[in-house]
Amino acid sequence: MTVETLSNQTSFALSNQAEIILNHRYYLKNTENTVIEDAPALFRRVANAIASVDNQYEVLPQEVQHLSDKFFNMMQNLEFLPNSPTLMNAGTNQGTLSACFVLPLEDSMQDIMKAAADAAMVQKFGGGTGFALSKIRPKGAKINTTHGVACGPIEVLKTLSRVSSMITQGGKRDGANMAVMSVYHPDIEEFIACKTVEGDIHNFNISVAVDDYFMKKVETDSLYSLHDPHTDAVVGQVSARKIFESIVMGAWKNGEPGMIFLDRINADNKVLSAYGPMISTNPCGEQPLLGYESCNLGSINLAKFHVKNLGARDWNDEINWGRLIQVVNLATHFLDNVIDANEYSIPEIAQMTRATRKIGLGVMGFADLLVKLRIPYDSELAREVGRKLMQGIRMAADVKSIELGSMRGAFPAWEDSHYKIHENYRNSCRLTVAPTGTISMIAGCASGIEPLFALVWRKQNILEGQTLHYVNEQFEEDAKNYGFYSEELMAYLSEGGLLESREDVPEWVKSIYVTAPEISPEHHVLMQAAFQKSVDSGISKTINFAKEATPTDVYVSYIQAWQTGCKGITVYRNGSRDKEVLVNGHKSEVVLDNALCGCDNPMIVQADGCESCKVCGWSACTIS
């Protein structure tokens, strides 16, 4: 595949922020480190590489070129963007195109060292990794072959963390990981507390895996049994509520651990009988995966499908459903092709990925769409919009996957799956809502299904030493059109002020432009649950809490997430970490433009020469 250099086309509208990110991490460079691409050339490189896969399926050359043009147009229009590894590596013969992986971790020295070596290769190729510690024998357990005692899963976790610290993902970002432990493991209390000291095991997120049985024990304040995973023997009983409260207290203190609900996850595991249950996720938690599975992600920018319609009867009449379905079809085709175009770091991942052919089509820009529709994020109507949009996307993606299955064959594990005879899907799952941190900044929209973070904010680019100031363009336009714009208002908002205290701002504006810190945790959880109804994989969503929130508030949200059918929950209480994130007021920390962490999320700060990400725990210091 020949790589295009700088194009002669007139560049389309990209923000200054997007150009900085693309220049730093995405555009190809020559041996002198000079940029040799612009945005159209990047999108053409990716489109050509992914469309060329159709040549494997006896498609005419002109049809392949036509498909490449369609892929190019939807990316250039910023209607859809694939995950960062695809943008970086497609058409270069370097690195992986997938973002997330789960590696199996069995209870032997050989298996642990293999997992560490596999993780190093995955992260060298540009991916993030998830592990389940649940099969590792507890600390102090006897080892018959050496007559010694086991170090326990936390020491294994620290070993994996040290390995990850040596690797820079694809040469462009540090490694990111997820560690999951079953609530039935004898070392669960040590696991819950393993990140109490901020900075410890800094390149891992941690989550506790629970099931309905455990949650019901929490409700009734009952005891439950802990099991040695090596012998399956019961080694003790403990209060379910005590353990749950420990999880909640950790989340209240610094956002960890999160929680994943295994019964809900495996209800959508259509290859359960063939490969067993899923027990871990990727680093940001939105993609539950089997051992050695990977998933390539891509997201549709929902804000691009709003159309002004003065005669609209309701919000449905302001959505360009026809174009949205076209983009869903194209994006599904695109992501299926990525599986074949991919370079895999180890053969086991190639084999498993091609067996289940999971893709993760998601969305971003949802909050921007709600603003255009004049619908408050924290309203039942907003949740109805989310439910119906995702339902429509699910139906279109399913139909397209079946169409691809009829032409190319269903995913190889289909015959051992729980799908019905007429559901010959090409992909064992189709939808995932990822954080979309960096790609949403390229697209100029809100990330994932998150609300607006702020209306005016500042970010510092560490490479060019400049502080960049940003204003939500739709808000600025409304402020001018409706007569409440002032430099004083913008300065007030940039210092962390909220609209609710401004008498000069109309009430309807305050409700429409509600930001993440102003939205109650209950509404955050309900929005996640609304989207989850049609997402066959998982959702990355942060449940925000005010600094004054109590552990009881977090307790209630964890229970609510389980009761409303979420597959997991991640919370963050403002001010609960030494290094705050996404600041928009007077703090020593400032948000970075270029998300360098492995979770591909924008929530990175710089303070006193150090950078850190609250989502994946990644950190690095540039001064001693």
Q: Return the amino acid letter for 423.
A: E
**Catalytic residue (choose from 79, 256, 286, 318):** 286
Integer Cα distance of 331 and 362 in angstroms: 10
Residue 564 neighbours by CB under 8 Å, 6+ apart = 525, 526, 528, 529
**Concatenated DSSP letters of 212-281:** HHHHHHHHTT-EEEEE-TTT--EEEEEEHHHHHHHHHHHHHHHS--EEEEHHHHHHT-TTHHHH----EE
Which residue, chain included where needed, has tokens 């990140």? 195
Backbone phi, psi, residue 582, to 5°: 45, 55
284 is catalytic: yes
| Environment class of 473 (CB within 10 Å of its CB; exposed 0-12, middle 13-18, buried 19+) | exposed
Q: Which residue(s) pair with 467 in the sheet?
A: 460
Task: Please enumerate, as own/partner, the contacts of 489-492 that have beta carbons within 8 Å and a separation of 24 or more.
Answer: 490/456
Structure tokens at 14: 């990209």
Integer Cα distance of 377 and 385 in angstroms: 10
Residues, the chain, total?
Answer: 624
Residue 195 neighbours by CB under 8 Å, 6+ apart = 201, 204, 206, 250, 254, 256, 257, 617
286 is catalytic: yes
**CB 402, CB 344: distance < 8 Å:** no
Residue 186 neighbours by CB under 8 Å, 6+ apart = 138, 226, 227, 228, 235, 236
Name the DSSP letter for residue 28: -
Q: 3-state DSSP call for residue 446?
A: coil
**Catalytic residue (choose from 194, 284, 429, 613):** 284
**CB 271, CB 417: distance < 8 Å:** yes
**Catalytic residue (choose from 282, 329, 472, 544):** 282
445 is catalytic: no
**Concatenated DSSP letters of 131-183:** EE-TTSPPTT-EETTTTEE---HHHHHHHHHHHHHT-EETTTEE--EEEEEET
Of 337, 335, 340, 322, the C-alpha closest to 396 is: 322
**CB 127, CB 294: distance < 8 Å:** yes
Beta strands at 80-82 and 294-301: parallel, antiparallel or unpaired: antiparallel
Beta strands at 128-132 and 177-182: parallel, antiparallel or unpaired: parallel
| Environment class of 69 (CB within 10 Å of its CB; exposed 0-12, middle 13-18, buried 19+) | middle
Q: Return the amino acid letter for 137.
A: R
Residue 43, CA distances (Å) to 20, 40, 338 in order: 16, 5, 14
Integer Cα distance of 107 and 135 in angstroms: 6
The residues carrying an active-site annotation are: 282, 284, 286
